[in-house]
């Protein structure tokens, strides 16, 4: 397991392998902006597995969280979509605090106030991350907590939650696969224990394996497990509780969901991912 070090500022956290100048993962938490993770390098250091602000969806940022229709307020398009800009809420992350490092593992927390268009408190959102570097692959764990600052109703919607955007291109040979064996569009809206995406990553043309992948595993303790999933036309994926229907969170209460993200070189391996899900499910 490589030894990791952390570079920290109030608005970003960078994780480096000891002796290397390029971070393998960067957490961003700019003032009054949605926090997100980008880039994540391939486990061999060649190529970025996440994409920020793609031309087709400028409000998408690598690995991030968003929701739609929270008491009628949107926390997805950041005021950038003409049809919804007047209904979009805002994000206000706290300055990042020191991370914990232990050899090849780093853990940190991002706490963000979500406010209505009028500036009213709606949610306090907490993302507790742990990054484990095993050399040929990474594992990224998330505990995601929403604490209600008002009585909230989350409407039924086709997408929302933890979302992954990878650099999909027409010639990238990308594919999404879920735990039931469904692929690409057939996995849209379907319940599954996990969904994985792999594709040929820009900058890896000289590598023996151009493809890399990221999977998301849904913990059995999560609401609506196995979650229904968003799998969009550009292979963006999200376990989306909101697909199943509306739900409520009274003021002063909270809900937590847990996810694991294996990050790997090569195509998605259903056998390996099923084994990883079994291990994750027992934690």
What is the pLDDT, as a whole number, of residue 56? 86
Q: Which long-range contacts (CB under 8 A, 24 or more apart) does 270-274 make?
A: 270/177, 270/179, 270/181, 273/179, 273/194, 273/196, 273/215, 273/217, 274/179, 274/193
Percent of the chain's residues with pLDDT above 70: 100
State in words which class domain 4-281 has: mainly beta
90 confidence band (pLDDT: 50, 70, 90): very high
DSSP 8-29: EETTEEEEEETT-SS-SEEEE-
Place of tokens 């398009």: 77
Q: Residue 9 is encoded by which pair of tokens? A: 């500022």
- For residue range 181-197, list pLDDT tens digits in order: 999 999 999 999 999 99
- For residue range 219-235, list pLDDT tens digits in order: 999 999 999 999 999 99
Average pLDDT over residues 6-35: 96
The model carries a pTM of: 0.97
CA-based angle 240:241:246, to the nearest 5? 130
81 confidence band (pLDDT: 50, 70, 90): confident
- For residue range 27-73, list pLDDT tens digits in order: 999 999 999 999 999 999 999 999 999 888 899 999 999 999 999 99
Residue partners of 227: CB distance under 8 A and separation at least 6: 191, 192, 218, 239, 240, 241
Average pLDDT over residues 137-143: 98
85 confidence band (pLDDT: 50, 70, 90): confident
What is the pLDDT, as a whole number, of residue 55? 85
What is the pLDDT, as a whole number, of residue 1? 82
**Mean pLDDT value across the chain:** 96
Average pLDDT over residues 139-159: 98
215 confidence band (pLDDT: 50, 70, 90): very high
Average pLDDT over residues 141-155: 98
């Amino acid at each position: 397991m490589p030894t990791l070090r952390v570079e920290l500022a109030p608005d970003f956290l960078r994780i480096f392998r000891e002796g290397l100048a390029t971070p393998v993962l960067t957490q961003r938490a700019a003032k009054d902006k949605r926090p997100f993770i980008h880039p994540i390098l391939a486990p061999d250091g060649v190529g970025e597995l996440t994409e920020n602000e793609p031309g087709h969806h400028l409000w998408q940022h690598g690995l991030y969280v968003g929701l739609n229709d929270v008491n009628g307020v949107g926390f997805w398009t950041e005021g950038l979509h003409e049809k919804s800009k007047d209904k979009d809420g805002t994000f206000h992350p706290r300055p990042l605090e020191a991370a914990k490092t232990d050899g090849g593992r780093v853990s940190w927390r991002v706490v963000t106030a979500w406010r209505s268009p009028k500036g009213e408190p709606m949610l306090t959102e907490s993302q507790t991350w742990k990054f484990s570097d095993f050399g040929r692959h990474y594992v990224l764990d998330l505990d995601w907590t929403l604490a209600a600052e008002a009585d909230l109703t989350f409407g039924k919607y086709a997408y929302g939650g933890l979302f992954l955007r990878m650099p999909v291109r027409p010639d990238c040979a990308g594919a999404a696969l879920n735990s039931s064996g469904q692929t690409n569009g057939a996995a849209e809206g379907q319940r599954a224990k996990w969904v994985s995406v792999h594709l040929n990553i820009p900058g890896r043309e000289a590598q023996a394996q151009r493809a890399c992948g990221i999977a998301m595993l849904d913990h059995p303790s999560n609401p609506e497990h196995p979650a229904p999933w968003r799998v969009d036309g550009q292979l963006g994926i999200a376990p989306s509780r909101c697909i199943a229907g509306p739900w409520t969170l009274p003021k002063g209460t909270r809900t937590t969901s847990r996810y694991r993200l294996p990050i790997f070189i090569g195509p998605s391996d259903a056998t390996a991912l099923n084994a990883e899900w079994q291990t994750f499910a027992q934690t």
